[in-house]
Amino acid sequence: MNVRRVAITGLGMVSPAGLSVDENFQNLLQGKSYVDTITHFDPTDFKVKIAAEILNFDPTKYMPKPETDRMDRFAQLAVAAGTEAFQNANIEFTPEQEERFAVIVGTGIGGNQTFIDTCKVLDQQGPSRISPYFIPKLIGNMGAALLAIRYGAKGYTSDVVTACASGTNAIGDAFKRIHYGLEDFALAGGSEAPVTPISIGGFSVMRALSKRNDEPKKASRPFDKDRDGFVVGEGAGIMFLEEWEHAIQRGAHIYAEIVGYGATCDAYHITKPSPDARQQTRCMQLAIQEAGISSQTVTYINAHGTSTLANDVTETMAIKNLFGEQAYNIHIHSTKSMIGHTLGAAGGVEAIVAVKTLSTGKIHPTINLETPDPMCDLNYTPNTMVEDDIEYGLSNSFGFGGHNFSLLFKRGPA
């Protein structure tokens, strides 16, 4: 089969660390935590009172007020990040090209706040008072649908739901569609707005979250011995992907190339990773094999790195299983140490961070890594940004249900 190269020519991101890709990346390089006491709702009665929130997001900067009222926050964030990515790509389409334009935006839980608000209306006012916009605000495909409507994308448009791996899954699937000639262009990534009472309460009773309410800035601490769970964050990260030759011909700026995509399933447990790390290892291996390079060529990994006891150990084991002694020479970091775990958006956000890392050579720190864990003994870029010349890098995402996805990026041309 004649396969095609896939370029990344546009980036868009909103997170607790900023409202644009550049603002986010510069703030992450500073090693600052954006975790604090929850303000989106009153957390008084909750055991977990902390999260990483986007505090200054104004959706009306991206769309008229009547439109924002018909969207859940996760869709607003998707439109914001997708708008930046599309504008950053600086492209215009003919009607024929619109039919070769895909949009794939993943989310783990979709319109969470809309569900909560509508349940209150049903309970207090009855079914006749439910908004006619309830279903369109609730369903997870609206991030993709709204971007398709905005930019006239008439190709494959879909929502991917693979829990915390949704964003990486979406980018990988979009890559494959262009790679195999089914589309020529795509907006792809993830969006999530999970700082809601039901999400915080639900993850809390699972004992998945950090309870460092008195030290929120210290709560997210991937790979540290004293980690006690992840911190919920919100955000969106979306890329514009394009067939390589088209990008070259129009003189587009190419941030990076997607050269490999791995996807596996643990088939083990609904929430726990398989302790043998075999399928996480194979996931990264598949991405590297597709690129046709040696594993020794990979010198950087944006880790899933959740700050949970099991995940951090298992991911470390997977890296060592695949890379052997080379594992100790790889630059590894966790973006979640600063902006928390953005669930379905994490893969999109972290893929963008990985691409910016390759293009700048600047590797943001994993903060709060203070006490070494004998089970996590690799180079996680502790607490201070470093610089290096990186050509190939992986971005990993592993979701509840055992979903494993890895993207392999190659630095774009000078």
4 phi-psi bin (left φ>0, alpha ψ -120 to 50, beta other): beta
pLDDT band at 317 (very low <50, low <70, confident <90, very high): very high
Sign of torsion over alpha carbons 206, 211, 217, 222: negative
Place of tokens 């709060």: 368
Give the CA dihedral 262, 263, 268, 270, nearest 10 degrees.
Answer: 120
Phi, psi at 287, each rounded to 5° = -65, -40
State the pLDDT at residue 1.
65
Residue 136's identity, in one-letter code, is P
Closest CA to 225 of 331, 302, 313: 313
304 belongs to the catalytic site = yes
Domain ranges of the chain: 6-249, 261-411
Does residue 352 carry a pLDDT above 80? yes
The whole-angstrom separation of Cα 120 and Cα 248 is: 53
Q: Would 6-249 and 261-411 be classified into the same CATH topology?
A: yes
The whole-angstrom separation of Cα 27 and Cα 10 is: 20
**Mean pLDDT for the chain overall:** 97
Percent of the chain's residues with pLDDT above 90: 99
Q: Homologous superfamily of 6-249 in CATH?
A: Thiolase/Chalcone synthase (3.40.47.10)
What b/e readout covers 25-38, taking b as 16+ CB neighbours within 10 angstroms? bebbbebebbbbeb
Closest CA to 367 of 346, 331, 339, 338: 338
Options 179, 246, 341, 403, the catalytic residue: 341
pLDDT band at 2 (very low <50, low <70, confident <90, very high): confident
403 belongs to the catalytic site = no
The structure tokens listed for 241 are 């992907």
pLDDT tens readout for residues 377-396: 999 999 999 999 999 999 99
The structure tokens listed for 109 are 């839980």
Options 179, 246, 283, 304, the catalytic residue: 304
pLDDT tens readout for residues 144-174: 999 999 999 999 999 999 999 999 999 999 9
Give the global pTM: 0.98
pLDDT tens readout for residues 178-227: 999 999 999 999 999 999 999 999 999 999 999 999 999 999 999 999 99
Cα–Cα separations (whole angstroms), residue 319 to 11, 71, 246, 377: 27, 40, 35, 11
pLDDT band at 414 (very low <50, low <70, confident <90, very high): confident
Give the CA dihedral 257, 248, 19, 334, nearest 10 degrees.
Answer: 10
Cβ-Cβ contacts under 8 Å for 126 (sequence gap 6 or more):
none
Q: What is the DSSP letter of 196?
A: S
The answer as to CATH 2.60.40.1120 being correct for domain 261-411 is no
269 belongs to the catalytic site = no
Across residues 48-74, what is the average pLDDT? Answer: 96
Does residue 235 carry a pLDDT above 80? yes
The structure tokens listed for 5 are 């190269």
Place of tokens 């600063």: 338
